[in-house]
Every structure is written in structure tokens, then in C-alpha cells.
């Protein structure tokens, strides 16, 4: 049964868990940690890793942990969507690739919208694109002072995703959101904290120590109170966020099929465009 399957997953998550190619997932001290583990590519997210992340979030949501953490291996948090995802053109051509990528993106963002427990980003370095846009769907975002946040959508002929077209203006007001989402402004961690996108910034030297002692203390709070309070807050927005996710993906699938976007991505690969 589905129930039985779910219990099996819990048992696995508490133990060794499933094996992923681009992630390392561990559970300790009531905290499940999902680490993007592709440091040689600055933890850029491949098509395979999107699927793995959806699965890992689904398992973490059902396991017995109190908090779930997402972090990156090495010096980068995450460099966003791996643009080489766009170079493996399937039989159906660009249109089929765009549609398939859109569906994957939609389900990826929905996994954040529906996540049932407090979610914490331990931002160990710079973040780009989709790894920045989903941050407002986390409960806490702790960043090293080495981190930067960058969403260069228009430079790549694309448009906002991760619900950022709704959450960024909501958090920081439209004019600060436009700087990031339309005009490619890169923020320092401190600027992002001022704008409410980052909860708190820590000196890089003590980042891991300070952040993890904080998270371990929070993981001892009454678990149902935490989960139900998070769900209560999210419930006021879930329908809206789901609709925004759908609208963003629809627009992006069109963009991916446009000449303007093609030319911009081509320019990036040819080194003509510096982000």
C-alpha cells in the first residue's frame, strides 16, 4: 500500500537512505540535510538532479525529522539551472525539450510550495537563478557573508520562476524586485538581508558553527507546533503560489522556444555574455 511504502521510506531515511548521483542526504539530530553535491560544477542543477531533489524533498517531508536543511558542497551554494540542460535536444526538437523542462520545473517548485515542515537554507556561498528564486519558500535563510544572490533572467532572454514574480515584489516591493528580476542586479548577502530575502548573515569563518548550533536548538522545539504553524502560514498562500508557478512555467516554456532566448544562451556559451 501507499502507507506501507511511506513507512519504508521513513525507515530508509533514518538509516542509509537511497543513493543519489548529485545529492547527499543525511538525517541526524532530528534534521534531514539535503546537500547539492556537484562542487566541480558549482552545484549547477542537472535534469537528473531536479528529479532527485523532488524525491528527496518528498522523503524528507515524510520522515521523522523536525527540520529540513538544503545546502551546497564546496564554495558555492548553487549556480542554478545547468544551461547544458538546453543542449541535449530530444527527438521532438526544441519544443519538446521546452515542454519537458517546463513540467520538471513546475513539479520542482511545487515540491517547495507543498513542503510540510520548516525548511532552512544554509547558504554556504553564491547562489544563482532558481536557487535564489525559491528562497522565499524557505522558513529560514542563513547566509555566509561570502554569498551573493543573482537572477540574470533578462540577460539570458528568460523570465522569472520559482514564484519570484510574486514573492519578490511581496517581500521587497516592486522596484527592488525589478532590479533583480528584470535588470540582473547581483546582491550581496547583506543587501539581500536588508531586503528580507535572507534571514541573517554570518561571518564566513564561523558560519557553519554558528548556523548549525542554531538549527540544532530549533530542532528540539515541539515538532507538531512547528510543522502546523508553518502549514498555517503557507495555507494562506498555497493556492496563489501554485497559480503563480503555473503562469511562470507557461511563460518560460514560450521563452525557451524564442529566438531571443536562443541567441542569449548561445552568446553565453560563446563567452559573449558575461553574467
Query: What cell numbers appear for 275 in the block?
Result: 553574467
Rg (CA), the chain: 18
Answer for which of 11, 213, 222, 266 binds a copy of itself (CB under 8 A) is: 222
β-partners of residue 127 are 78, 149
* Neighbour-count burial of 66, counting CB atoms closer than 10 A to its CB (0-12 exposed, 13-18 middle, 19+ buried): buried
Return the residue matching grid coordinates 495555507.
235
Shortest distance in whole angstroms from residue 117 CB to a copy of itself: 10
Q: Cβ of 199: how many Cβ atoms within 10 Å?
A: 17
270 binds a copy of itself (CB under 8 A): no
Query: What cell numbers appear for 252 in the block?
Result: 518560460
Shortest distance in whole angstroms from residue 234 CB to a copy of itself: 9
226 binds a copy of itself (CB under 8 A): yes
Based on CB atoms, which residue is closest to a copy of itself, 82 or 248? Answer: 248
Site string for a copy of itself, 197-216 (x = CB under 8 A): xxx-----------------
Instruction: Give the number of residues in contact with a copy of itself, rule: CB under 8 A.
Output: 65
Residue 245 to residue 162: CA distance in whole angstroms:
7
186 binds a copy of itself (CB under 8 A): no
Site string for a copy of itself, 77-116 (x = CB under 8 A): ----------------------------------------
Query: What cell numbers appear for 151 in the block?
Result: 537572477
Shortest distance in whole angstroms from residue 173 CB to a copy of itself: 3
Contact 179, 151 (CB under 8 A): no
Based on CB atoms, which residue is closest to a copy of itself, 30 or 199? Answer: 199
Q: Of 16-24, 27-35, 80-88, 158-166, which part binds a copy of itself (CB under 8 A)? A: 158-166
Distances (CA, A) of 96 to 12, 85, 102, 247: 36, 13, 10, 18
Return the residue matching grid coordinates 551573493.
148
Residue 150 to residue 184: CA distance in whole angstroms:
7
Answer for which of 170, 186, 216, 238 binds a copy of itself (CB under 8 A) is: 170
Shortest distance in whole angstroms from residue 118 CB to a copy of itself: 6
CA atoms within 13 A on the CB side of 170: 13
183 binds a copy of itself (CB under 8 A): yes
* Residues engaged in binding a copy of itself (CB under 8 A): 118, 135-141, 153-160, 165-167, 169-179, 181-184, 195-199, 218, 221-226, 228-230, 232-233, 235-237, 240, 244, 247-248, 251, 254-255, 258, 260-261, 264
Amino acid at each position: 500500500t501507499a502507507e506501507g511504502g511511506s513507512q519504508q521510506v521513513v525507515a530508509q531515511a533514518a538509516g542509509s537512505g537511497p543513493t543519489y548521483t548529485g545529492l547527499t542526504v543525511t538525517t541526524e539530530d532530528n534534521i534531514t540535510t539535503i546537500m547539492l553535491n556537484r562542487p566541480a560544477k558549482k552545484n549547477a542543477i542537472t535534469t537528473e538532479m531536479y528529479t532527485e531533489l523532488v524525491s528527496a524533498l518528498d522523503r524528507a517531508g515524510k520522515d521523522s525529522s523536525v527540520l529540513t536543511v538544503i545546502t551546497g558542497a564546496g564554495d558555492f551554494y548553487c549556480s542554478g539551472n545547468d544551461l547544458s540542460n538546453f543542449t541535449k535536444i530530444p527527438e521532438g526538437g526544441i519544443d519538446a525539450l521546452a515542454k519537458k523542462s517546463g513540467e520538471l520545473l513546475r513539479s520542482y517548485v511545487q515540491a517547495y510550495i507543498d513542503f510540510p515542515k520548516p525548511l532552512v537554507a544554509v547558504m554556504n556561498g553564491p547562489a544563482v537563478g532558481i536557487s535564489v528564486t525559491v528562497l522565499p519558500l524557505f522558513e529560514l535563510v542563513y547566509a555566509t557573508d561570502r554569498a551573493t544572490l543573482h537572477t540574470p533572467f533578462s540577460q539570458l532572454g528568460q523570465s522569472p520562476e520559482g514564484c519570484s514574480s510574486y514573492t519578490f515584489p511581496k517581500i521587497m516591493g516592486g522596484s527592488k524586485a525589478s532590479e533583480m528580476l528584470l535588470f540582473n542586479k547581483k546582491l550581496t548577502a547583506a543587501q539581500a538581508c536588508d531586503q528580507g530575502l535572507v534571514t541573517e548573515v554570518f561571518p564566513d569563518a564561523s558560519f557553519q558553527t554558528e548556523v548549525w548550533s542554531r538549527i540544532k536548538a530549533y530542532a528540539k522545539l515541539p515538532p507538531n507546533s512547528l510543522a502546523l504553524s508553518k502549514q498555517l502560514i503557507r495555507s494562506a498562500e498555497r493556492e496563489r503560489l501554485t497559480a503563480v508557478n503555473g503562469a511562470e512555467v507557461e511563460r518560460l516554456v514560450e521563452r525557451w522556444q524564442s529566438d531571443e532566448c536562443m541567441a542569449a544562451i548561445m552568446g553565453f556559451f560563446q563567452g559573449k555574455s558575461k553574467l
